[in-house]
């Protein structure tokens, strides 16, 4: 990637006693090194991208520690990497965004969890749930339960997170099972500090290499008949071992309170939110002293029945705080308490919402409802209810004063190479009629928002073409599948392209070749022009498609809207049966600008020729019909009040952030829009020839009675 | 559990890519320098691409050193009704925070930019779809304990800085955080990136936090300069045109004299006369004349290649381009005009006996909007300039062209409708005038607008003039239809609206 993580790398190098300051996900990264990992891998995705980004930039440090870093092509390959810990005492960690990444990794995870591990194996999950999430809303918890992988959900507090990582490896080794460490979005980005320890070199690593492979041991294979024994091992040996470790190391926390007749069972990740709600209700102070006893589950799975019954014994009622459905923890607690014949009432879903993130209002309503219902002595129920009502009135009052405001979804950046493709697709469909559009994951999914509002389905990362495979044979017109180069390598090449070719399918595939996995933070991928392994040539998408047997293949520069419109029409209307692939080629503008800006500044400084290109709109020619907006949506193309005293509608305007990508002009041509757009090319440090030509032009035009743009003296 | 200090909470509402993360880091760094317990969180995710996002900071006002080892448990998410300071880089985002309950009268200080970054639907609307900025500002200030609003983008731009540095400066000046100004400055220096520009922005923000800067004026209107040829007409306007309509009428005659000639300007005034008369008869108090003066001038000065060529070569335009591109001496410049004249533009200039059949043929064969010549014409090159100058010179031939005839006929028909409508009710006539707003733009947009206009004329205006529709009903129906016509580019809403009006009429 173009961005540098030098600052972050420096904090990875901190030694014992030094103070680490930074975000949660960086603290995890440091904790991995303090735990002596031998390998790290993963697939980028918010909110855990930084873990890998920083590792990739920390080449020298990792070489020193002998840590191997793999930027995997998808989560399945990352999960499979953990296979190294099945046979060898190697600690390793992988990371991805969950739930989606865990879904992709599921096959390997099952096959990892069944034989179990001897080296600590950790999966760092970015739990993309609630506000700011970009994926389907499901809980990773189900995977932990079904596969027998322990799920750590630490308090969102850097020392707790670091301890969770360190203990997680020990837990994994003590119980021979992989562990998941789950951090929510805000938990990944929470800032704080902790006292660092020295980084540790793994017993075996790239420096101290294993001498020989493990002897053949059928028990370590996920293959019958040992899979039956492994199922038993998970429940009868690994689970008790895990519980022993969790109990004896006090991974879960119990906080006493004077209202001993009630209690709250919360996941570690939600602890701070619960505490703040209690504090606002007058049931806790800001330092975490709560009047209601709290059992904080820093390990979400497995539960410890003995700890649980100890906490619940003598309590009239407890409230279980876990987000999302199903309420796995509440269900397990109900079972455990029933078995132990403990009559404590269990509250949870009902008082708290069944779905969605637990924001302040949800928790205040739930906690106040719980305490007033349980009515422990020592709390004035009426006063508490009144207090809660006052807190909850804020949002309701605001809603009365202001109507629902229109949302502001993300959009393509200024100059994005993908925007023109959708402009072309819109124009092509206007001319020849609509097509089924299979959308995908990536920046191009922004085309599902205005002004394009395109896409009939999204089935997962790299899945667009596969998701159209049953649409194509059942529809008159060929479907169009849009896929990024990231999605292509993530799995679209197999699930989409290969499968379509193998089945002689008939569809149009547009591959957005922008050179990076841009939506996740500009990481390199197999077809990137550069990569972190300098010297290796990129793997060509076109070459790969040809090798697979794609016959109809066109590569079109994305900004050439007219050519793209023609190519799309050709692909949609061609009489030839079979897969038609258009490689839409244009470098990610965010990456390009980062590079070009620095280059231009340097050239300007050294007196070399630099050209600034941007677009403009003649406000007296623009009539304010905004047809250009409906084909662009560029953040740099906006509105301003008309300068014409007779006109009231605002007119189009190109603002300073324009990078001169050319889309405005291309769209004006391809869709035959108004003649208000113009392009300016200003050249600094122009050569002698250019300067002379400029002087000549100025003189002749002046003689003709005209003018040119002149710099103000 | 009272008497203990609570954390100071700060919510930053911003758009992805605006530097909200950097601003958050500066604040965190400044608090750390003061030894105060501090925590920030964010939800950047995909929202980094110009979508709405927030950053949240909690600062405990007592230094960690004085807490005897106890540390506050800080919240990761903002709580409704529990925000001390809201910083918003954009007005709608400030209003969004209000709607979420984060701005409350008892405690929240709001510091927001009045600058708007328009949403897609606001930009896409065919007329004016912008939200009312003044109303948003009022909603924000009505809910806040104290409110500090100014255009942070303009202040930043004037300093060549990012708006986030301005925000930090204003935040420091307002003094809601227990952090002195120098510490914020030190945080910028600690960061080490773009320090000079950021400090400039910070200082500007500091000043803006002490005395609010006057809001930069929006784009000023550019009326036509006076010219000798219309002096006589303007004298007549002062007598014959109601006061309310005079400014538009003067603008109209000047524009048309430049667009064509003094005779054409005279024709404008002659056309306006009956409307002024009808205005007085109907008791419209000049409003009808005023709106008609406006639309009539725009319709008579319709957009054709001749006008576009003249506009492109206007020396004032090149001066504006020089300013907007920040052209420096010794820099060379080229301006490329993005043009795509089609068959219609050519027909427009041909005499009617040739233009009309050619247009019909083009319509039959579907050439309209298809057959065109895309060009990027360099108006700063000698040949490019000469070609445009030649086109502009065709002005004298314009009145003999096909389109000129068509436009004049349409204008006369429309004016006749306006006058006829005025005899029924002033409100109805005003609605007929306003329908001219539908006819604008070029190519497809112009066609759609003309089609919408024709549909409203046939289905509503004509029946209203023959008395088949009651004036009050027709007035409302035309207004609704016009709004519907501007609601979507495909005319679907207009069709639905006209259908609904028919049903209502039959029911009545």
**Chain B residue with Cα closest to A691:** B332
Q: Is A164 exposed, middle or buried (0-12, 13-18, 19+ CB in 10 A)?
A: buried
Q: How far is B505 from chain A (nearest CA, A)?
A: 31
A662 contact B CB<8A: no
Residues of A (600-619) whose Cβ lies below 8 Å from B: 612, 614, 616, 618-619
B197 with B160: CB under 8 angstroms? yes
pLDDT, position A1: 44
For residue A150, which of A168, A129, A127, A170 has the smallest C-alpha distance? A168
What Rg do the C-alpha atoms of chain A give, in angstroms?
A: 30
The architecture in CATH of the region A610-686 reads: 2-Layer Sandwich (3.30)
Do residue A413 and residue B49 have CB atoms under 8 angstroms apart?
yes
pLDDT of residue A672: 87
**Cβ within 8 Å, pair A680-B321:** yes
Could you report the predicted ipTM of this complex, rounded to two decimals? 0.96
Candidates A626, A677, A705: best to mutate against B (most CBs of B within 10 A) is: A626
Written as one string, the DSSP assignment of B197-250 is HHHHHHHHHHHHHHSPPPPPP-PPP-PPPP-GGGHHHHHHHHHHS-HHHHHHHH
The verdict on a CB contact (< 8 Å) between A644 and B222 is: yes
- For B309-374, give the DSSP string: HHHHH-HHHHHHHHHHTT--TT-EEEEEEEE--BHHHHHHHS-HHHHHHHHHHHHHHT-TTTSB--
The reply to whether residue B444 touches residue A671, judged by beta carbons under 8 angstroms, is yes
Of B43, B126, B248, the CB nearest to A186: B43
**Min Cα separation A274/chain B (Å):** 9
A-chain residue closest to B388, CA distance: A706
**Residue B505: what pLDDT?**
86
- Structural domains in chain B, CATH included, are 8-210 (3.40.920.10), 221-301 (no CATH), 305-400 (no CATH), 403-508 (no CATH)
Say whether pTM exceeds 0.90. Answer: yes
Give the pLDDT confidence of A390-445 residue by residue, as tens digits. 999 999 999 888 888 999 999 999 999 999 999 999 999 999 999 999 999 999 99
Please indicate if any CB of chain B lies within 8 Å of the CB of A623: yes
What topology is assigned to A419-591 in CATH?
Rossmann fold (3.40.50)
Torsion of CA A523, A526, A532, A534, to 10 degrees: -150
Nearest beta carbon to residue A411 from set B32, B50, B319:
B50
Phi-psi region of A22 (alpha: psi -120 to 50; beta: other; left: phi over 0): left
SS3 A290: strand
Both structure tokens of B220: 């000023």
Are B99 and A404 in contact (CB < 8 Å)? yes
**Is A286–B81 a contact, with Cβ atoms under 8 angstroms apart?**
no
**Tens-digit pLDDT profile for chain B (508 aa)?**
446 899 999 999 999 888 899 999 999 999 999 999 999 999 986 556 788 999 999 999 999 999 999 999 999 999 999 999 999 999 999 999 999 999 999 999 999 999 999 999 999 998 899 999 999 999 999 999 999 999 999 999 999 999 999 999 999 999 999 999 999 999 999 988 899 999 999 999 999 999 988 876 665 799 999 999 999 999 999 999 999 999 999 999 999 999 999 999 999 999 999 999 999 999 999 999 999 999 999 999 999 999 999 999 999 999 999 999 999 998 999 999 999 998 888 899 999 999 999 999 988 888 877 788 999 999 999 999 999 999 999 999 999 999 999 999 999 999 999 999 999 999 999 999 999 999 887 777 788 889 999 999 999 999 999 999 999 999 999 999 999 998 888 888 999 999 999 999 888 7
B77 vs A contacts (CB less than 8 Å): 131, 186, 273, 359-360
Cβ atoms A552, A571 nearer than 8 A: yes
Q: Is A646 on the interface with B (CB under 8 A)?
A: yes
A566 contact B CB<8A = no
Closest by CA position to A100, among listed A136, A74, A130, A71: A136
Q: What percent of chain A shows pLDDT beyond 70?
A: 99
Domain A253-401, CATH number (from 3.40.50.920, 3.90.1200.10, 3.40.50.1100, 3.40.50.720)? 3.40.50.920
For chain A, what is the mean pLDDT?
95
Min distance A501 CA to chain B CA atoms (Å): 33
Q: Which of B12, B13, B23, B43 to mutate to test the interface with A (most CBs of A within 10 A)?
A: B43
A265 touches chain B (CB under 8 A): no
List the 397-426 stretch of A: residues with Cβ below 8 A of B: 397-399, 401-402, 404-413
Q: B110, B338, B343, B389: best mutation site toward chain A, by most A Cβ within 10 Å?
A: B338
* A126 lies within 8 A of chain B by CB: no
**Within chain A, which residue ranges are assigned CATH 3.40.50.970?**
6-247, 419-591
Contacts with B123 from chain A: Cβ below 8 Å: 451, 626, 629, 633, 637-639
Which residue from A272, A625, A668 is facing B338, i.e. has the nearest CB?
Answer: A668
Q: Which CATH entry fits the domain spanning A6-247: 3.90.550.10, 3.40.50.970, 1.10.10.60, 3.30.379.10? A: 3.40.50.970
Of A124, A42, A38, the closest CA to residue A89 belongs to A38
Q: Which of A410, A638, A709 sits opposite B327 (nearest CB)?
A: A709
pLDDT at B217: 62
Residue ranges, CATH 3.30.70.20, chain A: 610-686
Asked if B79 and A644 come within 8 Å (Cβ–Cβ), the reply is no
Asked if A706 lies within 8 A of B313 by C-beta distance, the reply is yes
Q: How many Å lie between the alpha carbon of B136 and the closest alpha carbon of chain A?
A: 9
A326 upstream amide cis, omega within 30 of 0: yes
Could you tell me where in chain A the CATH 3.40.50.920 domains are found? 253-401
Is A703 within 8 Å of chain B by CB? no
Contacts of A292 in chain B (CB under 8 A): none
């Amino acid at each position: 990637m173009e961005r540098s993580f030098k600052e972050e790398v420096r904090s990875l190098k901190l030694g014992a006693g030094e103070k680490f300051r930074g975000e949660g996900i960086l603290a995890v990264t440091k904790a991995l090194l303090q735990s002596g990992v031998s390998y790290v891998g993963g697939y980028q995705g918010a909110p855990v991208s930084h873990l890998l980004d920083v590792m990739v930039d920390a080449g020298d440090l990792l070489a020193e520690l002998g840590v191997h870093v793999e930027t995997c092509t998808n989560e399945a390959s990352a999960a499979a990497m953990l296979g190294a810990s099945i046979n060898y005492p190697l600690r390793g960690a992988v990371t991805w965004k969950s739930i989606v990444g865990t879904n992709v990794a599921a096959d390997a995870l099952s096959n990892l969890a069944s034989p179990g591990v001897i080296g600590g194996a950790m999966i760092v999950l970015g739990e993309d749930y609630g506000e700011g999430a970009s994926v389907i809303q499901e809980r990773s918890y189900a995977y932990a339960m079904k596969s027998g992988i322990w799920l750590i959900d630490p308090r969102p507090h850097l020392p707790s997170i670091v301890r969770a990582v360190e203990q997680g490896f020990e837990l994994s080794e003590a119980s021979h099972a992989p562990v998941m460490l789950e951090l929510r979005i805000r938990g990944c980005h929470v800032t704080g500090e902790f006292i660092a320890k020295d980084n540790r070199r793994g017993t075996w690593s790239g420096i101290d290499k294993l001498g020989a492979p493990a002897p053949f041991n059928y028990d370590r294979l996920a293959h019958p008949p040992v899979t039956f024994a492994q199922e038993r091992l998970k429940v009868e040996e690994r689970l008790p071992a895990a519980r022993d470790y969790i109990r004896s190391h006090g991974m879960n926390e119990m906080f006493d309170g004077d209202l001993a007749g009630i209690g709250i069972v919360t996941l570690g990740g939600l602890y701070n939110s619960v505490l703040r709600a209690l504090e606002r209700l007058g049931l806790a102070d800001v330092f975490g002293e709560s009047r209601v006893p709290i059992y904080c589950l820093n390990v979400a799975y497995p539960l410890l029945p003995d700890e649980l019954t100890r906490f619940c014994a003598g309590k009239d009622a407890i409230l279980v705080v876990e987000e999302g459905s199903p309420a796995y923890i509440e269900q397990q607690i109900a079972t455990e308490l029933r078995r132990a014949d403990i009559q404590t009432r269990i509250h949870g879903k009902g008082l708290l919402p069944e779905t969605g993130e637990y924001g302040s209002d949800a928790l205040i309503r739930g906690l106040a409802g719980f305490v007033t219902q349980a009515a422990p002595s020592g709390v004035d129920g009426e006063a508490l209810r009144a207090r809660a009502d006052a807190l909850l009135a804020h949002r309701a009052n605001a809603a009365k004063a202001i109507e629902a405001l229109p949302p502001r979804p993300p959009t393509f950046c200024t100059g994005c190479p993908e925007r023109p493709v959708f402009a072309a697709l819109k124009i092509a469909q206007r001319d020849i009629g609509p097509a089924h559009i299979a959308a995908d994951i990536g920046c191009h999914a922004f085309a599902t928002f205005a002004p394009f509002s395109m896409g009939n389905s999204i089935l997962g990362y790299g899945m667009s073409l596969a998701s159209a495979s049953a649409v194509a044979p059942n529809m008159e017109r060929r479907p169009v599948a849009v896929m990024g180069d990231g999605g292509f390598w993530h799995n679209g090449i197999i699930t989409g392209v290969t499968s379509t070719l193998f089945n002689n399918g008939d569809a149009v595939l547009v591959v957005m070749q922008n050179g990076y996995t841009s939506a996740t933070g500009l990481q390199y991928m197999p077809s990137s022009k550069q990569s972190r392994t300098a010297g290796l040539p990129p793997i060509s998408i076109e070459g790969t498609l040809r090798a697979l047997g794609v016959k109809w293949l066109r590569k079109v520069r994305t900004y050439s809207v007219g050519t793209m419109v023609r190519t799309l029409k050709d692909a949609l209307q061609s009489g030839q049966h079979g897969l038609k692939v258009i490689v839409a080629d244009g470098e990610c503008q965010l990456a390009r600008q980062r590079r070009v800006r620095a280059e231009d500044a340097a050239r300007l400084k050294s007196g070399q020729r630099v050209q600034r290109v941007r677009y403009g709109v003649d406000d007296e020619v623009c009539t304010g019909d905004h047809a250009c907006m409906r084909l662009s949506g560029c953040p740099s193309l906006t509105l301003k009040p008309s300068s014409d005293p007779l006109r009231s509608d605002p007119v189009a305007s190109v603002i300073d952030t324009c990078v001169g990508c050319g889309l405005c002009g291309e769209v004006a041509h391809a869709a035959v829009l108004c003649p208000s757009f113009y392009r300016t090319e200003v050249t600094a440090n122009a050569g002698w020839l250019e300067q002379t030509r400029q002087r000549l032009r100025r003189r002749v035009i002046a003689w003709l009675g005209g003018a040119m743009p002149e710099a103000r003296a | 559990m009272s008497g203990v200090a609570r954390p100071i909470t700060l919510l930053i509402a911003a758009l992805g890519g605006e530097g909200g993360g950097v601003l958050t880091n500066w604040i965190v760094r400044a608090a750390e320098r003061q030894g105060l317990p501090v925590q920030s969180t964010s939800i950047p995710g995909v929202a980094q691409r110009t979508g709405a996002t927030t950053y949240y900071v909690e600062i405990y006002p007592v230094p960690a050193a004085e807490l005897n080892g106890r540390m506050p448990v800080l919240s990761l998410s903002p709580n409704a009704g529990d925000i001390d300071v809201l910083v918003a880089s954009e007005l709608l985002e400030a209003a969004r925070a209000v709607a979420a309950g984060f701005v409350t009268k008892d405690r929240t200080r709001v510091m927001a930019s009045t600058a708007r970054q328009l949403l897609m639907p606001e930009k896409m609307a065919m007329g004016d779809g912008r939200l009312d900025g003044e109303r948003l500002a009022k909603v924000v200030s009505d809910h806040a304990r104290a409110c500090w609003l100014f255009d942070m983008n303009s202040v930043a731009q004037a300093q060549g800085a990012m708006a986030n540095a301005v925000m930090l400066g204003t935040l420091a000046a307002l003094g809601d955080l227990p952090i002195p100004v120098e510490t914020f400055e030190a945080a910028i220096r600690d960061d080490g990136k773009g320090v000079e520009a950021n400090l400039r922005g910070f200082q500007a923000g500091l000043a803006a936090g002490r005395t609010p800067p006057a809001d930069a004026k929006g784009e000023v209107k550019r009326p036509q300069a006076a010219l000798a040829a219309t002096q006589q007409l303007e004298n007549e306007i002062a007598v014959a045109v109601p006061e309310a309509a005079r400014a538009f009428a003067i603008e109209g005659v000047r524009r048309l004299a430049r667009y064509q000639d003094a005779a054409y300007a005279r024709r404008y005034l002659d056309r306006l006369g009956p409307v002024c008369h009808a205005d007085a008869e109907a008791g419209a108090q000049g409003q009808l004349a005023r709106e008609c003066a406006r639309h009539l001038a725009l319709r008579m000065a319709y957009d054709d290649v001749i006008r576009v060529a003249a506009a492109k070569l206007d020396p004032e335009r090149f001066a504006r381009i020089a300013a907007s591109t920040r052209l420096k001496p010794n820099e060379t410049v080229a301006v490329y005009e993005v043009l795509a004249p089609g068959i219609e533009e050519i027909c427009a200039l041909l005499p009617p006996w040739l233009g009309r059949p050619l247009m019909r043929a083009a319509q039959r064969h579907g050439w309209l909007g298809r057959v065109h010549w895309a060009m990027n014409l360099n108006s700063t090159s000698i040949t490019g300039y000469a070609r445009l100058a030649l086109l502009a010179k065709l002005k004298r031939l314009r009145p003999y062209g096909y389109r000129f005839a068509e436009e004049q006929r349409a204008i006369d028909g429309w004016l006749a409708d306006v006058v006829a409508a005025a005899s029924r009710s002033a409100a109805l006539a005003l609605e007929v005038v306003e329908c001219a707003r539908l006819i604008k733009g070029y190519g497809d947009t112009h066609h759609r607008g003309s089609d919408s206009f024709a549909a409203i004329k046939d289905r509503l205006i004509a029946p209203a003039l023959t008395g088949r529709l009651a004036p009050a009903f027709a007035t409302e129906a035309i207004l609704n239809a016009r709004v519907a016509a501007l609601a979507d580019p495909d005319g679907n809403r207009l069709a639905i609206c006209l259908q609904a009006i028919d049903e209502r009429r039959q029911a009545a």
